[in-house]
Amino acid sequence: MATLELIDVCKKFGASAVLQDVSLSVDDGEFVVFVGPSGCGKSTLLRTIAGLEDASAGLIRIDGAVVNGVDAAKRGLAMVFQSYALYPHMTVEQNMAFGLKLARLPKADIDARIKAAAEVLKIGDLLGRLPKTLSGGQRQRVAIGRAIVREPKIFLFDEPLSNLDAELRVQMRIELARLHARLKATMIYVTHDQVEAMTLADKIVVLQAGRVEQIGAPLDLYNRPANSFVAGFIGSPRMNFIAARIEAIGPQGVRAAIGGEGDLVHFAVDGSRLRIGDSTILGIRPESIAIRPAGDGETTGLAAEIILDEQLGSGTCVHAMTRAGDILVSYLQGQVPLRKGAAVRLSLPATACHLFDRDGTALVRLE
Amino acid sequence: MSAMRRLGPLIANLAMTALALMFLYPFYWLIVSSFRSQEAMLVNPLRLMPESFDLAAYTSIRLVGGVPIEVYSFNSMLITVLATVLAVATTALGAYALYRRPHLPGFKFVQFGFLLTMMYPAMLLVIPVYLVMFRIGLLGTYAGLVMFLALQPILFLMFSQFFRSIPRDLMDSAKMDGASEWQVLTRVVLPIAQPVVNTVFLIGFLLNWKQWLPILVVAASPDRYTLPVALLAMNTEYGINFQSTMALAALTTAPIVVLFLLTQRRVIGGFVAGAVKG
Amino acid sequence: MQSPMLTANSANAGALQPGPVMAWMLLIWQHRVLYLMLLPFAALTLTFGLWPIALSILVSFTENQTALSDAATYVGLENFQAVIADPEFRHSLSLTLLYTALSVVLNLSLALALALALSGPTLKRGATFYKLALFMPVVTPEVATFIVWKWMLNQDFGAVNAALSSLGLPAFAGTTKADSAFIALVIVELWHHVGFYTVVFLTNLQLLDASLDEAARMDGAGRARRIWSIWIPQLRPAIAINSLYALISFLKTFTAVIVITKGGPNFATNFVSYYAYTKFDLAQYGKATAMATILFVIVLALTLLVHLYSERKDYR
Ligand SMILES: Nc1ncnc2c1ncn2[C@@H]1O[C@H](COP(=O)(O)OP(=O)(O)OP(=O)(O)O)[C@@H](O)[C@H]1O
Ligand SMILES: [Mg+2]
């Protein structure tokens, strides 16, 4: 049983506010991922939860008890650092035993826990080695092992995989997911890699400039981003954004004109807060754009010209410029014979279009 | 052309060797002179070997200013070792605390105050220190001397520099493992710092051995003097006796030269570490 | 469901939020172990650093006779006025500044030259020995080595003149003439300090970015050119730190004076710290501490200047 609750947590370093009114609740056994651009305060938030930084304001509760002012050593959490932070003068075994020895656990228990963790992480034959003789992946396993043996209330991870090469990163990501399934422990994980976020998380917290932009399940964030920041941050390739002017508002949604010619696009969103003539932003994911060669008398859809085609093998990324000069990226499955210079027509399905008002807040979608 | 190419480095090495020997010459001259009489010196100041190993000077300094040389040596050893131990302990702890949480209330004040102390002309600080010692009743005591000498800027800078090189994550990691602040220091930082502590101790020893002014001023009587202070007293008061002065100077210098020769790599590295920007 | 709970909690949080004084005390209590660690060091700094400095500055505002008594008479800036009006002090101050400027420039340029020479491949074989020889004077007790120098500079049986005459060079007047005494101190202190600065430069040279040098070499830059436009700019932090150390130590030059020249001959080496010290001996405490304070302010100002300069220029 371990739950975590943050209520209006703020953190200031001198005059600069790094965290502002962060509220969040984490259920027992949940895997929560913090994502956001570099410098947005992810690490600071994690360290504040850990007790390595003191919150300037707000409450932090673990299992219902307020832990503000409780020393990091006494919160019963474990943290895995990006730099691994293994004690250089201790062997792998001593590294893992350190916290348990401090807690005065009996020797037999310590050995049993280390053995079990070593088995899970396949580091049994490294136990006698010093950290400097290990590879990056092995070090990361040891760092995770050091956290596991402590049987903490909550696991905290600060970009644990970002020092590993791409292949190892994928492998470790899968192992982490398995580990979570097996331990059923509460885990909080910081990353700026959205694939990690999408695949690992039960719940994603998107942060920007010290504020929570949105909290939700990965697909919720993908399908119903609360604002243009989240919409742009989640999903790869990135969502397209182009300016749109409201032309008509009705019960089925709104119509907005994009581009200079005033091509009309239909949105299945609640337009009651809008007025005719408002300028808004259209967002559409590259995989939602349908693209056809122009010609044969087609008049539906946006006329555009391909300015770049990226052949990825499994898919094709097509960059097309409309006559108004907007560039839309569309992603198509498989190998598509569309080449630079080709004239095409793009169609933007109403159900796939997101509409954001001038502040970037998403308009509620009609189901 | 190839002769030139071989000659260049040779000349450079010869020149550098000559310079190095010039730097070492005063030490050599000191030793040789301590075995030679004043008359012999007058005849040939540059002689490289003494005419005979005349130990007269060394026997003449059995008593300096009425105090046996053993007392000075003992004082030197005692004060140097105690001051260095105290200096290493206090500066290590102090520098560590200041490094761990530089923004805690009062910490900046201590750091800044310490830097100010570095800038004050030390020889003039000694007089007010005399007054302070008088007020707190430590005047003329070993304790007072040792505490004053324990304040060594370079040792502090060496520790600060080292602590800054330890990744912060390592200490945070120990905290997360349940270590108290004290355990972070003793179980993680100090084991890593062992070589640095040794170096700092060594340098503290070398520096405290040299000290003279505070001891001269604060010591109540000559039987608290250390070797350098006795030497200075000889230089001013009983100053005519050249040979004895050289003998005492040799005794004062020899332990340091030996220690330095044994540990030079570490000592030089340590001094430099204390002088890196920070 | 969740939002009413949240607001209830927020109200609760507001009530728990401690005031600034409480927060302060809580912080200190939380970090009491760190405070305990700092305590011995802080106590030493206060007792044997800040307190004496404050006392000494205080004394500079009191009258000589009563300076050290509990009922000191404060005379405002009188001591400072007297000191500044004293022609010997002005002479002493300009001597000190001249000596410092000369010594800083000589020490740093010799140290830089030696470090550049020692960092090259030519002198690699003997580098340990050379470094050791240069550094030996830094660690050995100055009182002893300065006494040796004093005797080596002796006219009758000193090694310096004997060596000069055996080489057919004119004699060096050593500590007997004003100019030569000044120069003698510069040389002796150069011998004492230069090894330190050399080793600092040397270490920094070894840390230089090799790729820049290689790039310049590819561009066809000669060694002298590379030293001047690639190495020295990168050494700026080392130059700053060395200047700082050198400034502080030469402005305060004292041991060499008291051992070798005693301020003479004819006040030619009567540097401020030594002059102030003699004023102490004459029980002119007010004047002595006024001089010390002036010197302190100069050290502080110059240090700050060097520091600001190096901060501004340090883009690394
Ligand atoms: N000790 C500190 N003192 C002052 N400012 C700090 C401190 N630690 C972090 N900051 C600032 O707080 C902001 C958030 O930093 P944080 O490390 O939490 O970002 P992050 O989201 O983890 O970024 P990254 O993805 O690069 O790791 C940054 O602007 C950083 O400069
Ligand atoms: Mg981070």
CA–CA dist C185, C178 (Å, integer): 11
Q: What is the pLDDT of residue A1?
A: 60
Residues C101 and C201 in one domain: yes
Residue A366 lies in a domain: no
- Whether residue A367 lies inside any domain: the answer is no
Mean pLDDT, chain C, rounded, equals 83
How far CA A18 is from CA of A42, A56, A236, in Å, comes to 10, 10, 27
Residue B238 predicted with pLDDT over 60: no
| Residue A258 within any structural domain of the chain | yes
Q: Confidence band (pLDDT; 50, 70, 90) for A296?
A: low
Domain identity same for C19 and C147:
no
Q: Same structural domain for residues A249 and A118?
A: no
CA of A350, closest CA in chain B: separation in Å? 49
Q: Quick one: pLDDT band at residue A32, thresholds 50, 70, 90?
A: very high
| pLDDT over 70 (residue B52) | yes
The residue to mutate among A9, A19, A42, A54, having the most atoms of ligand 1 within 8 angstroms of its beta carbon, is: A42
Q: Which of A180, A204, A233 is the endpoint of a domain?
A: A233
Based on the domain organization, do A211 and A66 belong to the same domain?
yes
Q: Are residues A229 and A252 in the same domain?
A: no
Domain that holds residue A330: 240-356
Flag whether C70 is in a domain. Answer: no
Strand partners, A344: A293, A304
Average pLDDT over residues A185-196: 91
Pair (A8, A60) in one structural domain: yes
How many domains does chain A contain in total? 2
- Interchain proximity A102–B192, CB inside 8 Å: no
Residue A40, ligand 1, Cβ within 6 A: yes
C176 in a structural domain: yes
From the CB of residue C169, how many other CB atoms can be counted at a distance below 10 Å?
Answer: 10
Position B170 scores a pLDDT of 93
Q: For position C113, what pLDDT does the model report?
A: 92
Looking at the structure, do residues A19 and A116 belong to the same domain, yes or no?
yes
pLDDT value of position A40: 92
Q: Give the per-residue pLDDT at B89.
A: 94
**B170 reaches C (C-beta below 8 A):** no
| Cα separations in angstroms, C280 against C56, C214, C275, C285, C288 | 12, 58, 9, 5, 6
Structure-block tokens of residue A274: 């809008």
Shared-domain flag, residues A271 and A207:
no
- In this prediction, residue B234 carries a pLDDT of 82
pTM above 0.95, yes or no: no
Identity at A3, one-letter amino acid code:
T
DSSP state of A349: -
Best B80, B93, B120, B251 member to test C by mutation, with max C CBs in 10 Å, is B120
A79 shares its domain with A110: yes
Identify the band that residue A143 occupies on the pLDDT scale cut at 50, 70 and 90.
very high
Percent of chain C with pLDDT over 90: 28
Q: Calculate how far, in angstroms, residue A42's C-alpha sits from the geometric centre of ligand 1.
A: 8
Residues A141, A61, single domain; the answer is yes
Confidence of residue A59 (pLDDT cuts 50, 70, 90): very high
CATH of the domain at A23: 3.40.50.300
Distance from CA of B215 to the nearest CA of C (A): 13
Position C5 in a domain:
no
Query: Using CB atoms, which residue from C55, C145, C161 is nearest to B26?
Result: C145
Beta-sheet strands, E only, within chain A:
4-13, 16-26, 31-35, 57-62, 65-66, 77-80, 154-158, 186-190, 203-208, 211-216, 240-250, 253-258, 263-267, 279-284, 290-293, 302-311, 315-322, 327-333, 343-347, 354-356
Q: Are C197 and C242 in contact (CB under 8 A)?
A: yes
Q: Given a cut of 70, is residue C10 above it in pLDDT?
A: no
Does the C-beta of A114 come closer than 6 Å to ligand 1?
no
Query: Domain check: are C260 and C112 in the same one?
Result: yes
- Per-residue pLDDT at A260: 63
The protein residue whose alpha carbon is closest to atom 4 in ligand 1 is: A13
Q: Which has the closest alpha carbon to A360: A308, A266, A283?
A: A283
Question: Which SS3 state, helix, strand or coil, does residue C173 take?
Answer: coil
pLDDT digits (tens, 9 = 90+) for C221-257: 777 787 787 788 888 888 888 888 898 889 888 999 9
The SS3 of residue C25 is helix
Cβ–Cβ contact B105 with A under 8 A: no
| C124 in a structural domain | yes
- Evaluate if residue B243 carries a pLDDT over 90: no
Taking CB atoms and an 8 Å cutoff, what residues of chain A touch C10? 7-8
Residues A44 and A184 occupy one common structural domain: yes
Within a domain: C69: no
Domain boundary among A217, A233, A249: A233
Total structural domains within chain C: 2
Closest to B158 (Cα-Cα) out of B53, B59, B270: B270
More confident residue, B277 or C146: C146
Q: Assess whether C44 and C172 both reside in one domain.
A: no
- The string of DSSP letters for C91-106 reads HHHHHHHHHHHHHHHH
Same domain? For A320 and A171 the reply is no
Cα–Cα distances (Å) from C1 to A205, A216, C4, in that order, read 20, 16, 7
If asked whether residues C33 and C176 sit together in one domain, one would say no
Q: Which residue among A18, A38, A47, A79 is best mutated to probe the pocket of ligand 1, counting the most ligand atoms within 8 A of its Cβ? A: A18
**What CATH number does the domain containing A283 carry?**
2.40.50.140
Q: Does residue A160 sit in the same domain as residue A290?
A: no
Would the pLDDT of C1 be above 70? no
With respect to residue A363, please indicate whether it lies within any of the assigned structural domains.
no
- Residue C9 covered by a domain: no
CATH number of the domain bearing residue C162? 1.10.3720.10
If pLDDT is split at 50, 70 and 90, which confidence band does C7 have?
very low
Q: CB-CB: which of A51, A88, A103 is closest to B192?
A: A88
Q: Answer yes or no: are the C-beta atoms of A39 and A6 closer than 8 Å.
A: no
CA dist., res. C17 & res. B189, Å (int): 35
- CA dist., res. A361 & res. B124, Å (int): 69
Other Cβ atoms less than 10 A from the Cβ of C22: the count is 10
Instruction: Determine, yes or no, domain membership for C150.
Output: yes
Q: Which domain holds residue C28?
A: 14-59
B145-161 tens-digit pLDDT: 899 889 888 888 889 88
Q: Which of B198-207, B235-244, C166-175 shows the lowest mean pLDDT across its residues?
A: B235-244
**Cβ B46–C196 below 8 Å, yes or no?**
no
Mutate which: C66, C138, C157, vs B, most B CBs within 10 A: C157
Domain match, C151 and C297 both: yes
Residue that finishes a domain, picked among A197, A215, A233: A233
CA dist C132 to A72, A278, B265, B266, Å? 48, 79, 9, 12
Q: Verify that C158 and C34 share a domain, yes or no.
A: no
DSSP letter for each residue of B7-45: HHHHHHHHHHHHHHHHHHHHHHHHHHHHTS-HHHHHH-T
One domain, residues A178 and A39: yes
